[in-house]
Every structure is written in structure tokens, then in C-alpha cells.
Structure 1
């Protein structure tokens, strides 16, 4: 009888607990998370250049479930004195339509305000309505704005493909096609660049030395090469079996820009054992 009482008691208690627990769930009001806007990061850096803008993503925690869009006003302040409309512009209204959880602030710097003066500003973006922000999420974004300085070049920033490459040999032009630059630092203001894909785009790497000791007079010097570039049949089938050779062209200079990501290379090409072409060979590379 003792065991039977236990067996009948346990289901009874289980029913009581289940009823009580179910009742708690039924009576508990549903909590809707607040709609909060926030920045995914707290700071960024914008180097002003022609046709370059800076985009700041803004996120919404809970999307609108109806057709009514959510509008958010963005403010900006600057402790360094940057004035909106003078030093920079941006879209100060974001609109989150139904099911949309991301929008973008697009900042456009006014280049003449930063170059060549070297001006540096910090602009802080925030949201005007305190009810849509949370201190636990990033409510502000500090953007440093300045112009690119050729003197501050990081050589590896010029690495990669240059899809707008044009060449000219004695007035015979060709392009665009893709070349590739690989740079390694050789000193505080010098680097070595290996440019591959020249001659549309069959040649192997040609080596150049870069010097920006004088940032306003940046120099590119070709390293003479007589092997390892390509078979001269790439120039003319009559030269098959011979090597392409390259060297500086007397009286011509080459240059580059770290800010614009461009190279202008002027040099002389030839065929080993036969001589040099008299025409200047120029290669203009841009991203």
C-alpha cells in the first residue's frame, strides 16, 4: 500500500506543478525588444581623395514589421572645428523600411580643405533621438578626416592589380589591361617594385626602385634587365629564341603616386644580341 500511495501521489503533484507552470507562462506578458540603432565600430579614418567617400554602416536591432519606415536623424560635431558643408558633407537622415536592419552614412570630404594644408579633423557622429540609442551598444562614431600625404607612403599599400593599364610605344598605344605590382621596403623612404604583366600581359616581373625622400618629386628608376622577362617573340616572331631586355631611356623620368595609386613608367626595350628600339616605351598604371 505504501508503494501504491507513492505512485498515485507523484502524478498528482506533477499535475499541480504543470498547471501552475502553465499558468505562469499564460499570464506572463510578451516583451518586445526595443528598437535601437547603433554603430558597428566606434572609430574610423578617412583619407580624402578625388572620388573617394567614407561609408559608415548603421544597424537597427529590431526591424519594423509593418509598412511604416523608421526614420533616424544623425548629428555631427567636431572638437577640431570641422564645419559640415565646408569641410565635409553627409546624409543626416537614415530610413529603415520594413525588415531593413542596416543603412549607411556617406561622408564626403572637401579635398581643398585638407590638401595641401595638411589639416586633420575628428568628426563625431551620433543620433539625435535618445530613445533609439543604448549605452550598451555603440551610440557614437568618431571619424578622423585628413588628406593623403605622399610622404607617409606604406609601400605595401601599392600592392595588387592595376586594371587600367595603358601602354604606348612610339605612338602605338594599347589598353586597358591588367598589370600587378609587388612592393617591398628597402629603407625609410625607398622600396623595390616588381611589375608583372606588362606588354599586355605576357611579360614576367620587371624591377623598379622607388624613392620618395622628396615627397613632391617621387622617382622611379628601372633596374636594367637582360633575362627573365620574356622571349622576344612576344615583340615579333622574327626574334624568337632571344630575350627581351629593358633599361632607362635617356632624358626620361618615371614617377608614381601612393595617394592616387598610379605608376607612370618610361623606359627603353630591346632584344638581347640585336639592340634597342629607339622609341620610348611608356606604361601608365592605375587601379
Structure 2
């Protein structure tokens, strides 16, 4: 037993010595450098609001995971699930990006064409890193760009007659008739109230109609909203039910490019509601 004890003690000392040598901080260790990859700079999507300006541009960030002293090329492919076409909805001067010496990031410019976005058209472009001097990243090699037109809101441009207005209920559409935006008052940098004459004319005629106030909100450039606050729209004894009011029914939309407005509301009297209605104001 003493002999075995000595052998075990010797082996323990030998193992400890080997471990000490292996962990010596003065011994050189190899440095492992991961291979360079091409990426969209940790971004996977963006929103492009195309303005009526030939210089309107959206720059997609493209980069690498390292820096070198040479120029490297990254190429991309582009597709569109919404059938956006080059030369119609957008221009893409190049499908490659040059990453210069000492740099790890540059951008791919996309030029939206305002004339290609009629009405409420929204398009998506899908960019994918497809080749070049650097292999694509495994985790962010695809970038989705959503494009839609945008016009700066100029409140006073909304004033005037809307000769192609119409009212819509569950039985059909009625009009056209002329509604008029009499005034508009900003309430913040991206909200305002408007006063409208002849609102919901087809639904209420032949009863006299009060001017009403509606709200606009363009805080979200992708979601311009209208709302109709509760208010009396006709003081007459509407079909024997007394005064007629409007009440909100969700939100509508408006376009600062086309000067069109959609309002969602209910027509109510003290006894109840006549249902849900939509009014569209158009020039």
C-alpha cells in the first residue's frame, strides 16, 4: 500500500506540473481571426417615402465584418414581390458596392420615381447579397425596402371645393356633390382640425346641414388619419327623431398628394344609430 501511495503521489505531482506549464501566460497562443463576411450592417428592412423630387434617394447600408487595405466589391440581386419595375417605380444605378481601403461600410443608393406610385400604391424591393469579393453573412444577407410616395402636408392647400364628393352606406354610393373645406387650423406640427360645409350631404338632404369639424393626423408618414368627433350635424327634427349627430367609427385616411379625404362615422339620434357611413371628399 505504501508503494502504491508513492506512485499516486508522483503521478499527481507530474500532472500538476504539466498543467502549470500548459497554462503559462508567457507561452504564445495562436490568434483565430474569423473570415470576412458581407452584411447589410445589422439591418434587415427600411421604409422609403418617395417625394416628388429627382434627388429623392434611399441609401441601403452595405458593409463587411473587417477592415483591410484593399478595395473590395459586394454585389447584390434585387427582386420585387409587388412587381415594382426598374425605370418605372425605381432606378438602381448599380448592383454593386465598393468598400474602400480602411473602410467597413458604404451604401447602395436607390432612387424612387414619384410618377410610378399612383394612388396608394406600395411596393417592396428585396435585396440579397449575391457575390463579389466577400461571401455573404449567414444572418443578415437580405434587406427589404418598402416604398410609397409622399407629399409634404401643406394645410392651406386643402381649402376649397370638392366637387366629386360622395357618401357611401350599406345600400350603395351616392353623389357626386360639392363639399367645401372652409378652414384648417394646425394643432401641432403634424395635426390639424378642418371645418367642412355640406358634409354628408347625400345622406342628410333635404335637411339643413351644420358645418362640422374633423381632425387630421399625419404624425406617421405611412398612415395619414382622419377622425370625426361626435357633434350635431343637423338641428332639424330628423325624420321625427330630433337632432342628428355624427359619431366616430374608427379612422379614415387622407392623401396630401391627391387632396382626397375619407371619413368613417355613424349617424345617430337620441333613440339610436342609423348605421355606419363613409364620406369621400375629392376635387
Please tell me the TM-score bracket, short chain as reference: 0.3 to 0.5
Superposition TM-score, scaled by structure 1 size: 0.46
